[in-house]
């Protein structure tokens, strides 16, 4: 599966404002703040980084995983000539 074939996700652009103890303070464009444990951040994220927040249901996640598994299986069983 190429990057162009990945499903496009809607989301919100957020900013990693700062770290406080074991949490990161995330801010939105409209000034809302969210505390997130550092372990939930992408590896290497640092203060000032712009991130994307995406919310999905379990059903949406399961469907995406099925599509990725099928694409990988198709690639294995039908390699490009």
Per-residue three-class SS string for 12-63? EEEEEEEEECCEEEEEECCCCEEEEEHHHCCCCCCCCCEEEECCCCHHHHHH
Identify whether 4 is part of a domain: no
Identify whether 45 is part of a domain: yes
Identify whether 2 is part of a domain: no
Identify whether 17 is part of a domain: yes
pTM of the model: 0.62
pLDDT for res 45: 96
Pairing, β 23-28 against β 12-20: antiparallel
Identify whether 22 is part of a domain: yes
Identify whether 1 is part of a domain: no
pLDDT for res 1: 47
Phi, psi values for residue 60, rounded to 5°: -65, -45
**pLDDT per residue rounded down to tens, the chain (81 residues):** 455 555 566 788 999 999 999 999 999 988 999 999 999 999 999 999 999 988 889 998 898 899 999 999 998 998 875
Pairing, β 23-28 against β 33-37: antiparallel
Domain count of the chain?
A: 1
Identify whether 3 is part of a domain: no
Identify whether 18 is part of a domain: yes
Domain hosting 50: range is 11-77
Q: What is the CATH number of the domain that holds 37?
A: 2.40.50
């Amino acid at each position: 599966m190429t990057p162009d074939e990945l499903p496009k996700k809607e989301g919100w652009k957020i900013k990693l404002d700062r770290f406080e103890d074991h949490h990161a303070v995330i801010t939105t464009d409209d000034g809302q703040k969210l505390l997130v444990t550092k372990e939930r951040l992408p590896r290497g994220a640092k203060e000032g980084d712009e991130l994307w927040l995406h919310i999905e249901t379990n059903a949406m996640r399961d469907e995406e995983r099925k599509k990725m598994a099928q694409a990988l299986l198709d690639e294995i069983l039908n390699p490009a000539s």
